[in-house]
């Protein structure tokens, strides 16, 4: 059955706070900043709000590193607790990316996912900090690739520089998430589409000072922020599947004649694949696949690999 989920991504530039501002005052200003930003998307009643990487770090151009770490210690959980209250009052999930102090005195570039009750349901830690982060900033590498089981679907996370590493992508593609959230300072360009298509998952990127984008599992843009507005909200349907046209397209007319608008078959061009989506309240995309004997793209690719193995070309 249709699984609509409304996603908001916010990507304002980091808040400018002058050097020398007391940490408590800086935290107060940061909370006011995010209260103002959230008011731009809350009227749309999103199911999930994604904030950018290190969302409560003052702009480092005016707030140097030697002031950032004392600020984080004074900030503690105040910003998180503010966001948890918003999540509970508005019945939404919020992805809160921030730096936190590790037990050994190092730092963690992480994303806490807050649920609709205002509780932290889990944490993702950036697996691949940049050399500057791990060196000068003493940021520790994360090692896990968790899947968050939300009430609308399975959610994975990557932060900024992570998007360059196939090792992490392979772990997620094997886990088959419905959605990847991407808080970042870096847009990633074609890597966003690569991740979405490789995981057959929707993708929600919140990029500080850059375009925020929501992508389909085919790697195409479903919605984007603009040069005028640094936020975007869109509703996507997670009851979908990626299919190759080979061996399947002969069934398209019968599917459409039987189900009409209750099923969409969207083909973006050049890729050779379609996104099959159930818009129905009574049946899901898996039932359509079973009824018409359709083949998912990964099963089709596996058949291709098996043909090579049968010919004796395994591993070549």
pLDDT tens digits for range 146-170 = 999 999 999 999 999 999 999 999 9
Based on the fold, state whether residues 102 and 184 are members of the same structural domain: yes
Q: Is residue 143 part of a domain?
A: yes
pLDDT of res. 316? 62
Band (206; pLDDT cuts 50, 70, 90)? very high
Distance (Å, whole) CA 46 – CA 264: 23
pLDDT of res. 165? 99
Based on the fold, state whether residues 76 and 167 are members of the same structural domain: yes
Number of structural domains (the chain) is 2
pLDDT of res. 315? 64
Based on the fold, state whether residues 184 and 37 are members of the same structural domain: yes
Q: What is the mean pLDDT of residues 83-93?
A: 99
Residue 254 has pLDDT above 80, yes or no: yes
Based on the fold, state whether residues 190 and 272 are members of the same structural domain: no
Residue pointed to by tokens 């300072």 = 185
DSSP string, the chain: ---EEEEEEE-PPPPP--TT--HHHHHHHHHHHHHHHHTTTGGG--SEEEPPTTTTSPPTTTS-HHHHHHHHHHHTTHHHHHHHHHHHHHT-EEEEEEEEE-TTS-EEEEEEEE-TTS-EEEEEE-S---HHHHHTT-EEPP-----EEETTEEEEE--GGGGG-HHHHHHHHHH--SEEEEEESS--THHHHHHHHHHT-EEEEEETTS--EEE-TTS-EEEE--SS-SEEEEEEE--EEEEESTTTGGGHHHHHHHHGGGEEEE--SSSSEEEEEE--SS--HHHHHHHHT--BHHHHHHHHHHHHHHTT-TT-
Residue 108 has pLDDT above 90, yes or no: yes
Domain final residue pick, 195, 211, 237: 237
Band (27; pLDDT cuts 50, 70, 90)? very high
Residue 75's domain comprises 4-237
Are residues 256 and 266 in contact, defined by beta-carbon separation less than 8 angstroms?
no
Based on the fold, state whether residues 163 and 246 are members of the same structural domain: no
pLDDT of res. 313? 76
Distance (Å, whole) CA 126 – CA 124: 7
Q: Is residue 314 part of a domain?
A: no
Based on the fold, state whether residues 199 and 81 are members of the same structural domain: yes
pLDDT of res. 7? 99
Residue 97 has pLDDT above 70, yes or no: yes
Q: Is residue 316 part of a domain?
A: no
pLDDT tens digits for range 112-146 = 999 999 999 999 999 999 999 999 899 999 999 99
Q: Is residue 313 part of a domain?
A: no
Based on the fold, state whether residues 135 and 165 are members of the same structural domain: yes
Residue 314 has pLDDT above 70, yes or no: no
Band (310; pLDDT cuts 50, 70, 90)? confident
Report the mean per-residue pLDDT for the chain: 97
Q: Is residue 131 part of a domain?
A: yes
Q: Is residue 315 part of a domain?
A: no
Domain final residue pick, 181, 212, 237: 237
Based on the fold, state whether residues 74 and 221 are members of the same structural domain: yes
Q: Is residue 106 part of a domain?
A: yes
Q: What is the mean pLDDT of residues 97-107?
A: 94
pLDDT of res. 309? 81
Percent of the chain topping pLDDT 90? 95
Domain final residue pick, 237, 256, 275: 237
Q: Is residue 32 part of a domain?
A: yes
């Amino acid at each position: 059955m249709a699984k609509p989920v409304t996603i908001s991504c916010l990507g304002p530039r980091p808040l400018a706070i002058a050097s020398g501002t007391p940490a408590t005052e800086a935290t107060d200003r940061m909370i006011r900043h995010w209260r103002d930003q959230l008011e731009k998307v809350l009227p749309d009643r999103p199911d999930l709000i994604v904030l950018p990487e290190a969302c409560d770090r003052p702009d480092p151009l005016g707030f140097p590193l030697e002031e950032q770490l004392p600020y984080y210690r004074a900030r503690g959980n105040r910003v998180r607790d503010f966001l948890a209250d918003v999540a509970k009052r508005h019945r939404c999930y919020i992805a809160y990316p921030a730096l936190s102090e590790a037990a050994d005195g190092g730092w963690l570039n992480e994303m806490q996912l807050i649920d609709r009750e205002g509780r932290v349901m889990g944490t993702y830690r950036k697996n691949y900090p940049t050399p500057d982060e791990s060196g000068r900033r003493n940021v520790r590498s994360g090692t896990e690739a968790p899947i968050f089981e939300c009430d609308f679907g399975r959610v994975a996370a990557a932060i900024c520089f992570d998007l360059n590493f196939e090792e992490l992508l392979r772990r997620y593609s094997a886990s088959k998430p419905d959605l990847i959230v991407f808080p970042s300072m870096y847009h990633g360009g074609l890597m966003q589409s690569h991740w979405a298509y490789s995981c057959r998952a929707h993708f929600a990127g919140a990029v500080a000072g850059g375009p925020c984008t929501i992508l389909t599992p085919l790697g195409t843009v479903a919605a984007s922020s603009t040069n005028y507005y640094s936020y975007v909200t869109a509703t996507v349907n997670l009851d979908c599947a990626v299919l190759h046209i080979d061996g399947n397209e002969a069934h398209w007319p019968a599917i459409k004649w039987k189900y009409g608008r209750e099923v969409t078959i969207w083909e973006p061009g050049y890729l050779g694949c379609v996104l099959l989506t159930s818009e129905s309240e009574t049946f899901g995309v898996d039932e359509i696949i079973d009824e018409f004997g359709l083949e998912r793209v990964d099963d089709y690719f596996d058949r291709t690999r098996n043909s090579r193995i049968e010919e004796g070309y395994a591993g070549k």
